[in-house]
Structure 1
Amino acid sequence: MSIRNLQFLFAPRSVAVIGTSDKPGNLGAIVLRNVRGAGFAGPVWAVARQAGEVDGLQVWPGVDSLPAAPELAVICTPAATVPGLVEQLGRKGTRAAIVVSAGLKQVAPDGVRTLEQAMLEAARPWLLRVLGPNCIGALVPGIGLNASFAPGHATPGPLAFVTQSGALATAMLDWAGTRGIGFSHFISMGDSADVDFGDVLDYLASDGDTRAILMYMESVKHARKFMSAARAAARNKPVIVVKAGRAAEGARAAASHTGALAGSDAVFDAAVRRAGMLRVFTLDELFGAAETLARPRPWCGERLVLLTNGGGAGVLAADALSLGGGTLAELGADTLAALDAVLPANWSHGNPVDLVGDAPVARYREALRILAAAAEVDGVVFMHAPTAVVPAYDIAAACLPLAREMRKPVLSCWLGGRSVESARQAFSAAGLACYDTPEHAVQAWLQLVQYHRHQQALLELPDAQPERIRPDRQAAERVLARARESGREWLDAADAMALLAAYGVPVLGTRRVRDADEAVAAANEVGYPVALKVVSPQIQHKTDVGGVALDIASADDLRQAIAQMRERVAARQPQALITGFMVQRMAGNTHGHELIVGLATDPVFGPAVLFGAGGTAVEIRKDRALDLPPLNAALARELVSRTRIGPLLAGHRGLPGVDEAALVHAILAVSQIACDLPEVAELDINPLVADAHGVRAVDARVRLARATGAADGRLALRPYPSELEETVSLAQRVLLLRPIRPEDGKRLVDFYAAAGPADLRRRFLCSRREVPRSELARFCQIDYEREMAFIALDGERMVGEARAVCDPDRIEAEFAVQVAPHWQGRGLGHRLMAKLLEYLRGRGVQRVVGTCLPENDAMVRLARGLGLQLEGDEAGCTMRLDLGQGD
């Protein structure tokens, strides 16, 4: 389930509180007082085991005695009673409950299930949604709802706050109240037995009273559901996350370098970035980011100017910007000349723009006007320290009209206390973000930068020609089958190299041998010089035990190296059983970079792809970046750019850059392994040597684990469903029908550009000359978990599309279809829609709906031909089809 019946949880018209009494400290009585005291307008009923009265309100003896079914029930009774109460409520007609009771992890009386499992089973037949158990409750101030035992109420506002911590919920509510922060929703998740973060994100994403969503998280239960909901919500409004437990898993021991580097917190970071959310690290930063993001301004870029009347404040702000990786705007000649004309001769003549301590109102106003018009300035941090020259409020009042009208972000910093309070309040009341220190203002700017980078990634139109990995799946399966048959957890080097080769990664010639004679024969085959590496199921990091010898130039040297290696390994790890050696041709003396490309499995988000600087010191350098598969070429290049070694790969000091296409191909090959082979739990290519001529895997380790379920089931992001590709013959042409890919952006641009005004009006139900680039990016970067778009390709040209977007519960999907002008009337629309309807049936969608204009005769005929029911008038026509799915 997802958002089904959540309207009863967060917008109920009646509330029952179960477990009330007049005993001091009774939890139910506290909740009841909160519900009544917050101004809730609907009926409020108190329920207990016996009739009576609490705070002057009648107490009903049991759920069945209530005069009507409450839309929301708040259960405050002992854990053992909760499953039975949920069943009674469901039978009564209630469809949402908040369970504040704790202790439902204990075993139920039947000795088989936990009380929590019994509660969920009791709720399921009625589709009754449960928030909690073990939660504070929920507050929706806009409707006067405080269904919680929090020690106070919340004021209405534009922010939704969702937290897993009950103690933090009460503290945050108190903290926000002292700062005048209001909420559209304040939700304590508790144990999230039913309603989880994915559900709440889906609900709040479409809530008109919520401008930004703030979340305090400790864990994620259903990664794919969470990622799908987060990506959808983040496209609509800012989603800001603070997560506890950053250090707990990152330091865990792991057998592979990738496993050691890819701690769960780093993977969570990758998930946040991929979803387009913003992560912060303290609660103060959480509300600071909300202060900025919930008051949106047009985004121009990352170049910031610092405007101040104090040099010290400007320097502090500039230091914070530099240390945070921000960009200080370089003022152009025209801007400097304009500032020279209005500022005293001793102004700073650069950025920060220091107006000098005696700055009057006019100096502030004129400088701000000039910076507002400067094309090289994307945003302004407006700072003022109090002086005796002019009251801070006068400066605020004079600059406010201009600051409000600026088409770029303006962040203000009023340093001081009472003397600047009126100025701070004036700016805040006008919708301008205010901060207490220069560092806080710059931090807010850097959060804006990061947020818009993530948002821009969602709007990218990648290369028209995607990098497609075409593996030899049979060869890969043979490698895995050999390992299964022998019961090996780790592939030996030869099999690891064979697996990579099956996915198109260039590897060095590698032979497994048992003794010195076989080693010499293998070296003669691959050619000297060679490298020698020990093979032992007990040894993964060979260099740690002296298990690697390089640049062996002859047979005699090779025999001697084997003997010495046996002695070293026996001395350093005597329990290790040496089962053989690997003989490998040396990579050669080049200026190549040693890199690592790897794959690790996170317990929550599944596989994660790692890239960074490689070699024996990889875990010391910790120069790495992660992302969630599946990746495309654009994402692979972005992954490289997030490392310190990334810029060096472009070439420097006369050295050529690496072959970027070959490097991207290797990263995508590892991403594809993650999608195709669920048995691969960890993978290291270290080092992957990259130079101007290509890449070569010099060493690799692969750990296997038992796979369960579908190959892509463990992925947090549903990959491109290549199994849905098909070729069809139509009008004497062979067309490829397949799901849309992010790389189809250029095709989509050309497709809509070729459509006439009438076609665009019929497609979008309004007049438009073109489709905005941001919308096109959204159309081709779809979430396959909840939407689908099939396109038809005539060669390389896109000639048709049919798409559907499902609601989070897959009850209903809204569809649209368009065909290129020269393909209309030839049956392509019917073929695409038939494919789309078949797909939606397979996904369990119950019905499809669409809208068309009355004059769209072709669409009306197509709909009727597919069995859709039509209803409408001169304003528009609604098309519906029941797909025959039920609960």
Structure 2
Amino acid sequence: MSLDSLRRMFAPASIALVGASDRPGSVGAVVLRNLREGGFTGPLWPVNPRHASVGGVAAFPDVEALPAVPDLAVICTPAPAVPGIVQALARRGTRAAIVLSAGLRSRPDDGAPSYEQAMLAAAKPAGLRVLGPNCIGALVPAAGLNASFAPGQASPGRLAFLTQSGALATAMLDWAQGRGIGFSHFVSLGDSADIGFADLLELLAQEEGTDAILMYVESVREAARFMAAARAAARCKPVIVVKAGRAPEGARAARSHTGALAGSDAVFDAAVRRAGLLRVDTLEALFDAAEALSHASPWRGPGLAVLTNGGGAGVLAADALAGAGVLATLSPQTVSALDAVLPAGWPQANPVDIIGDAPVERYRAALEVLLAAPEVDGVLFMHAPTAIVPAAQIARACLPLLAQADKPVLGCWLGGPVVAEAAAQFRAAGVPCYGTPERAATAWLQRAQFRSHQQAMLRPLGPGAHLPASASEHAGDLIAAALARGSEWLDPSEAREVLQAYGIPTLATVRVANASQAAAEAARLGWPVALKLLSPQVVHKSDVGGVALNLRSAEEVEAAAAGMCARLARQLPEAQVLGFVVQQMAERPGAQELIVGIAQDAVFGPVLLFGEGGIAVELRQDRALELPPIDRVLAGEMIDRTRISRLLAGHRGRPPADREAVIDVLLRVSRMAADLPALAELDINPLLADAQGVLAVDARIRLRRSVGEGGRMVL
């Protein structure tokens, strides 16, 4: 799609303000003031049918009366008037509009389409792009544009900020102004009826005046387009996201373990990772990460050396970095070089404590050693103020080294006014600075995570599972037959057939109608067996005592079946018993219980899940998610992100499980997600894994009749 309309929106040669007003405190008056005070130098045409002039500027009664076609129209009228105004602008040839008005999702009294639908119907045929409605507006300081009713102006800078929250937009603008943070673009999306994140990412990826893109996200629409635009932008510059809604509300409606574990927030994390973006949890971290990513030297690796004049500050930094494996281990050569410039009492380890009485030369010499050390990929320079030497003098002495450094340096000047000049000198030299050890350490970890996401996004996807066409054909036939009879779930024997079609090892499984048939089939399969209740009202059979294991005779089978029916009648008297499933017992002592599954996210479509399985799967919450398709590398990374991976590697004398067999299952399940759009949820739980390989003991497959926009793969 052409970006010309968006470029015209954010760098217009002329602007019409429809709804301009002289009434103090009105949106029309505030926007007019902001447009004039923001530095816009082109023609500005107020439109108001009741006044000949507004704010001392000649006004026009309507769009048709304007002396020329405006590049941008800013609309702040009541909602019912907006569709007609947009239609008039489209006829005139305007191709960009910012609609500040709220209430466009309501309908006229006659039941006609909503005002928003009518607005889009007028805009789209003419190629008129709309930002909003119900937004604060947009600010582009370099273009002299403040087309908003924000309470002030934005300072020029090289960060773009996109937000879906209007209240947050105004607060963030004020917060940034007080901290000297400037913007290339500051855009409130509002209801995103037309222009969304994908459009703005496509534009800002090409903007030379933008070093990093920051986003506050509440929801994502058109996920496939969002992912494509995000991946393209992340190839050019850092894209950092804060997303509201960490609570997994979407999991409440899930009916499988996989669905419950794959909450919408965890899925968003998986999407961010695949897109090469960085997600942070707070607005402060958003700007800290932006400073670290857009101003520091090129990334060399995660190994960080901490240089400090205070042991306590160094410990705080080390604590914040603990567990991430990023504290560089100093080589004997580096320790020897530091011995030559530091007092005898220094700890000879990282963090490098140069002692509180350090003079200027000691700072400079220690920094020089660490910048030259090959095992050090970056340096965190920390200083707590002392009476020995002014902080600004230390900063000046280090500036020549910073100018020559070929690795990232982060600053942490502890204190307030006493260290302000030193921090300013470092920032002027391109060194990001933070007020606390924890913030500095977090910024480094975020940079390491961002680099990891970048590498994963840029790596070409390898081959998936190689399967014959008959696999998807046979599985598709089973699913079609189940849907034709009105079933939402495949029965266990059908689920086993689907897994077998995709080459996933399973146990012999037979469906029977009653207890006597169960006893006969058990004898045929061979003892011991497992017996499982079959009822459309019961998904998790163990919850109602619907599973019996290690049955070794026909009498035990019949007694277990009778007990299951009696318990079900007491607990769920309305439940229907369709029969039983008889299954071979898995004789795999010491095998790890895993879960592998597919869930459907309302936004990002199919999601793959891997983690620790068994009956406590939802309590332990040990899982990793990925968007399909995946390859062997991504499958291995899924395994490594879980705690159960350490047990799979072998422990207490037990041999390692067959990791490659587990990866094969993940690849085959990824193919299922691609091949079988009617598959709503899949649980393989437990999947046993040991040195012999893998074995799917139980599987549940839920179906769906239709696949909406949110049910398709986005990669």
- Normalised by the size of structure 1, how large is the TM-score? 0.79
Equivalent residue number for residue 544 of structure 2: 545
CA distance in 1, matches of 2:457, 2:246: 26
Equivalent residue number for residue 521 of structure 1: 520
After TM superposition, give the deviation of residue 717 of structure 1 in Å: 2.3
Equivalent residue number for residue 396 of structure 1: 395
SS of alignment partner, residue 246 of structure 2: coil
Equivalent residue number for residue 588 of structure 2: 589
Measured against aligned partners, the alpha-carbon deviations of 1:177-227 in whole angstroms (never above 9, x if no partner) come to 000000000000000000001001101011110000000010011111101
SS of alignment partner, residue 382 of structure 1: strand
1:309 aligns with 2:291: no
Equivalent residue number for residue 328 of structure 2: 329
CA distance in 1, matches of 2:695, 2:672: 17
Equivalent residue number for residue 10 of structure 2: 10
Equivalent residue number for residue 762 of structure 1: none
Give me the identity figure in percent: 60
1:673-712 equivalence runs, <5 A: 673-708=672-707
SS of alignment partner, residue 440 of structure 2: helix
1:714 aligns with 2:702: no
Measured against aligned partners, the alpha-carbon deviations of 1:570-602 in whole angstroms (never above 9, x if no partner) come to 333333221111101011133211000011111
CA distance in 2, matches of 1:157, 1:656: 57
SS of alignment partner, residue 252 of structure 1: helix
Equivalent residue number for residue 205 of structure 1: 205
SS of alignment partner, residue 668 of structure 2: helix
After TM superposition, give the deviation of residue 494 of structure 1 in Å: 1.1
SS of alignment partner, residue 328 of structure 1: coil
Equivalent residue number for residue 223 of structure 1: 223
Q: Is the 8 A contact 1:629 1:715 kept in 2?
A: no
SS of alignment partner, residue 595 of structure 1: strand
SS of alignment partner, residue 474 of structure 2: helix
After TM superposition, give the deviation of residue 248 of structure 1 in Å: 4.9
After TM superposition, give the deviation of residue 715 of structure 1 in Å: 2.8
Unaligned segments of structure 1, at least 5 residues? 719-887
CA distance in 1, matches of 2:602, 2:461: 30
1:836-855 equivalence runs, <5 A: none
Equivalent residue number for residue 169 of structure 1: 169
1:633-644 equivalence runs, <5 A: 633-644=632-643
Equivalent residue number for residue 262 of structure 2: 262
After TM superposition, give the deviation of residue 109 of structure 1 in Å: 5.7
Give the RMSD, CA atoms, in angstroms.
1.6
CA distance in 2, matches of 1:263, 1:648: 25
Equivalent residue number for residue 39 of structure 2: 39
Q: Is the 8 A contact 2:483 2:705 kept in 1?
A: no
SS of alignment partner, residue 139 of structure 1: strand
SS of alignment partner, residue 600 of structure 1: strand
CA distance in 1, matches of 2:106, 2:645: 51
- Counterpart residue type for residue 23 of structure 2: K
CA distance in 1, matches of 2:419, 2:194: 48
CA distance in 1, matches of 2:486, 2:10: 53
After TM superposition, give the deviation of residue 467 of structure 1 in Å: 3.5
Q: Is the 8 A contact 2:258 2:682 kept in 1?
A: yes
CA distance in 2, matches of 1:264, 1:449: 25
Q: Specify which of 449, 465, 468 is matched with residue 466 of structure 2.
A: 468
Measured against aligned partners, the alpha-carbon deviations of 1:605-636 in whole angstroms (never above 9, x if no partner) come to 11111100000000010000101111122111
1:382-393 equivalence runs, <5 A: 382-393=381-392
1:351 aligns with 2:316: no
Equivalent residue number for residue 78 of structure 1: 78
CA distance in 1, matches of 2:564, 2:599: 30
After TM superposition, give the deviation of residue 36 of structure 1 in Å: 1.1
CA distance in 2, matches of 1:428, 1:410: 11
- Counterpart residue type for residue 468 of structure 1: H
Q: Is the 8 A contact 1:689 1:695 kept in 2?
A: yes
Q: Is the 8 A contact 2:97 2:129 kept in 1?
A: yes
Bigger drift between 406-415 and 639-648 goes to 639-648
Q: Is the 8 A contact 1:16 1:44 kept in 2?
A: yes
Equivalent residue number for residue 342 of structure 1: 341
1:805-884 equivalence runs, <5 A: none
CA distance in 2, matches of 1:227, 1:9: 24
Equivalent residue number for residue 101 of structure 1: 101
Greater RCO structure (CA 8 Å; 6+ sep): 2
CA distance in 1, matches of 2:713, 2:700: 24
CA distance in 1, matches of 2:648, 2:353: 39
CA distance in 2, matches of 1:202, 1:589: 53
After TM superposition, give the deviation of residue 253 of structure 1 in Å: 4.2
Measured against aligned partners, the alpha-carbon deviations of 1:236-289 in whole angstroms (never above 9, x if no partner) come to 100000011111525524211011111100101100001000000111111111
SS of alignment partner, residue 702 of structure 1: strand
SS of alignment partner, residue 603 of structure 2: coil
In the TM superposition, structure 1's runs of 4+ consecutive aligned residues that sit over 6 Å from their partners are none
- Normalised by the size of structure 2, how large is the TM-score? 0.97
Bigger drift between 578-587 and 557-566 goes to 557-566
After TM superposition, give the deviation of residue 414 of structure 1 in Å: 0.3
SS of alignment partner, residue 472 of structure 1: helix
Measured against aligned partners, the alpha-carbon deviations of 1:105-132 in whole angstroms (never above 9, x if no partner) come to 0114652311000000000121000000
SS of alignment partner, residue 327 of structure 1: coil
1:370 aligns with 2:369: yes
Q: Is the 8 A contact 2:533 2:546 kept in 1?
A: yes
- Counterpart residue type for residue 717 of structure 1: V
Equivalent residue number for residue 511 of structure 2: 512
- Counterpart residue type for residue 295 of structure 1: H
CA distance in 1, matches of 2:394, 2:445: 26
- Counterpart residue type for residue 302 of structure 1: P
Q: Is the 8 A contact 2:227 2:714 kept in 1?
A: yes
Measured against aligned partners, the alpha-carbon deviations of 1:58-102 in whole angstroms (never above 9, x if no partner) come to 011110111100000000111001000001001111000000000
Q: Is the 8 A contact 1:404 1:432 kept in 2?
A: no
- Cα distance change on mapping 1:403 and 1:648 into 2, 3 Å: farther
